[in-house]
Chain A
């Protein structure tokens, strides 16, 4: 995020920091295995896993840091952590 003199910014700018760039492992959601229990959405510390109209998880990769909590907690093992390739 570009800031002004004194490292200043107006409110509402933190979304510009795409913290997803820190990610080493990317969660991939295997919808075929998903039971739509919503656990991944609940445990995501960044709040960046949403549910689509069908109740399936969708991730905002701009802010997902790849912590892997969703994969760890998924009761159906429907989240695979794959090496991030840039």
Chain B
């Protein structure tokens, strides 16, 4: 049933339907209404979860790590600086192959202090071994949580997963969202079946020491599991579509790309704006399309190459920057298209919550066609001085 809800509350509802057994969170600024709503649900016995209030974000994810190793389905949510504080634990969750699911409400990293949206926080953890899914709207943001648990807990994968959606633009915006009923959620997502767990009667240690003779193989094994996710995610997305009629079977999603000369590549809520801008450009006779990246880790190189093989120019929008290099998605897309002859231009855009409007998208397309790329779009010269 469609209900008008704030993004954070819609996600909290969906997370509740996933039946997490342990939730740990810290109310650092910035936090979101997700864990606030879940705290209410736990206190009102609407969900059967142990809600652990901890003293920092580092402890929040550490508590999740321990609870997951003990065999519980766990959840946390964080954003920007909070995620930064979890950095070490993120790598450990992946290394110990614990299927923690965490919402990342994407916001800019300080300094300067900012509470507004870009995707620098989760992108900065791209090498940690977590799956990274990005949502375009609140419907997708809620649905991806069911999918994330399903994939993360799959014994072929056993990796933690971020579900990323844009701070404020989605998290604080009211949209109609169709939340699954508990019966629907249960029929899609079975109870967590741990591969192995901490048990005093049958002891096992997690996350041990590896000498140089053993370390590399464990990193390789994570990479292999991420590679498997390239087929397990579409499998889980297809099943979701068959049951509920919303299709997340693609690691990428195409919009009016079939006969396009120029393709825009983007992630997250900006895709909505891009679609509207494309409709206007199409009306004006320009053949422009969008390739939305839903899954950034694992990165779908093959799917990107296939989807963009017919275009002449690609403009990649990055709400992040690998300082000293380029935008993260631009680097990946250029890698995917290496040797294809397609011109790939990167645009750092909308950092720290700066609005990206339809006319900005049109302007990016014009720049890409003129070969003017690998730039920060919309810099204010008067501020730079």
**Are the C-beta atoms of A6 and B203 separated by less than 8 Å?**
no
Please name all residues of chain A whose beta carbon is closer than 8 Å to the beta carbon of B205 when the two chains form the complex. 8-11
Task: Kindly state whether residue B158 has any CB partner on chain A within 8 Å.
Answer: yes
Find out whether the CB atom of A6 lies under 8 angstroms from the CB atom of B209. no
Give Cα A9 to B208, complex, Å.
8
Let me know if B220 is at the binding interface, CB within 8 A: no
Tell me if B98 is interfacial: C-beta within 8 Å of chain A.
Answer: yes
Instruction: Report if B350 contacts A (CB, 8 A).
Output: no
Instruction: Name the CB-closest residue of A to B94.
Output: A6
Residues of B within 8 A of A8 (CB): 96, 196, 204-208
| Size band of the interface chain A makes with B | 10 to 19
Residues on B with C-beta less than 8 A from A17 are 209, 211
Across the interface, do A11 and B218 meet the contact criterion of CB distance under 8 Å? no
Cβ contact within 8 Å between A3 and B208: yes
What mask results when residues 1 to 14 of chain A are scored 1 for a CB within 8 Å of chain B, else 0?
11111111111001
User: Cβ of A5 and Cβ of B214 under 8 Å apart?
Assistant: no
- Which chain A residue shows the least CB distance to B221? A5
Q: A1-37: which have CB < 8 Å to B?
A: 1-11, 14, 17, 21
Contact across chains for B208 and A1 when beta carbons are under 8 A apart: yes
Residues of A24-66 contacting chain B, CB below 8 A: none
Give A residues with C-beta under 8 Å from B. Answer: 1-11, 14, 17, 21
Instruction: List 15 contacting pairs A-B, 8 Å CB cutoff, sorted by A.
Output: A1-B210, A2-B214, A4-B196, A5-B97, A6-B98, A6-B196, A6-B206, A7-B95, A7-B96, A7-B210, A7-B218, A8-B207, A9-B208, A10-B204, A14-B209
